Amino acid sequence: MGRRYGWTLDTGFGRFMAVAASVLAAGAIVFITAALVEDHYRLAATHPSRAMSEAVKSASAPPPGAKLWLSSEYKPGDPRLVDVVAGGDVMMGSIDAGLNPAIAPRCDAANLIGGALAVVFRRADVAFLNLEGPLYDGREHSAKNCDRCFSFRSPPYYADVLSSLHISAVSLANNHSGDYGEAGRDSTIAALRARGIGYGGLDRDGARFASVHLRQGGEAAVIAFAPNNGTLDINDIPAAAGRIRALKKSYAIVIVSFHGGGEGWDRVHVVDGDETFAGEDRGDVVGFAHAAIDAGADIVIGQGPHVPRAVEIYRHHLIAYSLGNFWTYEGVMTYAVSGLGPVLEAWLAPDGTIAGFTMHSTRQAGLGVPHLDPDDEAARYVYYLTRSDFPRTGERIDEARKSGLKSWMR
């Protein structure tokens, strides 16, 4: 092309023009990248939690990991208490979007997230997560038929990570467990079963709830609900209550999970009535959670909004309305408040009432891998939202915090 204008790259002028073009191209790349970064941080700076940040930081909170004790009958460490640990959404990498090269078959999660966080799950009587997407490496295309949506699928060996954390059960009741149809769900069940991990939330025989043996004796049932095809329906509250009531007749502890509520930074607050997102009825999460407790659930754990939400103490039982994103990678937003992952640890009395609980704060960084956060931001955020959305529960937390401070300062 240079000869058309009377010069070639072999001439001094030609070499000058080549260098100049390269400099201009590099400058354009830097300019575009800077603009994208500026847009990213402008977006992060304007999300709803930004306006709350100072209030969150100044809000009273117990020391990181401290137990908020609510029972006068049972003391911390009582062997009769059932230790339930739960995190939020897990999608550690998708074959079609990108995989974390650090995750390999027989991978030990402690090498990625740190031993201190791993031991929180490993010491639990029941450890629970929401598995957001199938464990499937087949050749079929996604079962989803949409122009703008996400489809996830992780290699089946990713179940090794869950096994190394001693996860007791996972929820398959969400909007991604069916991304690759029944083949994907079958593969997921096979991978979990091979590692002794329970699963629940699908509306099919053998997959509606999981049974977990308790060291105290008896068993816990873990059941999950969502508004999505093939799952137990969060929007059919009478049917859900009936299932929970039936489980309570046979199980010492009934743990209920739901995947519901709107998504995103503007959905951090719990609201009464149905919530919708992208044209989908995501359920009346307050009505559902209360009905679940009324029917016999001992604790209710929510996921779905991809941000943390408040907790509520209802009739002496604990409800966590969203535990946000715990371990997500490629396709799930993880900056700002979406990167905060409160890990709930709750101690249940033999009758299922809440004796005490704490929030372990995690934050995703690097390749979407969670780590304990020394700033304790996730816990502070949950307590802040609780005082706003459920003032009575906020008062009980503050009372427990003040009572705990006396012992913490001794």
pLDDT in tens, 16-60: 555 555 555 555 444 434 443 333 433 444 444 454 556 566 566
- Statement: residue 223 has pLDDT above 90: yes
Residues 346-389 pLDDT 10s: 999 999 999 999 999 999 876 679 999 999 999 999 999 999 99
Amino acid at 352: G
Distance CA 30, CA 378 (A): 34
Distance CA 352, CA 346 (A): 11
Mean pLDDT of the chain: 85
Closest CA to 198 of 174, 171, 223, 169: 169
- pLDDT number for residue 148: 56
Domain 65-408: CATH architecture, name and number where available: 4-Layer Sandwich (3.60)
The arithmetic mean of pLDDT across residues 189-198, rounded, is 98
User: 338 or 285: which carries more pLDDT confidence?
Assistant: 285
Cβ atoms of 117 and 124 within 8 Å: the answer is no
Cβ atoms of 7 and 14 within 8 Å: the answer is yes
Distance CA 166, CA 204 (A): 25
- pLDDT number for residue 57: 61
User: 280 or 311: which carries more pLDDT confidence?
Assistant: 311
- List the domain boundaries for the chain: 2-45, 65-408
- pLDDT number for residue 24: 59
Residues 299-311 pLDDT 10s: 999 999 999 999 9
In degrees rounded to 5, what are phi and psi of residue 277? -155, 130
Give the CB-side neighbour count of residue 209, counting CA atoms within 13 A.
Answer: 21
Give the CB-side neighbour count of residue 216, counting CA atoms within 13 A.
Answer: 22
Instruction: Label residue 64 by pLDDT band (50, 70, 90).
Output: confident
DSSP assignment of 37-85: HHHHHHHHHHSHHHHHHHHHHHS--PSTT--EE--SSS-TT-TTSEEEE
Instruction: Label residue 331 by pLDDT band (50, 70, 90).
Output: low
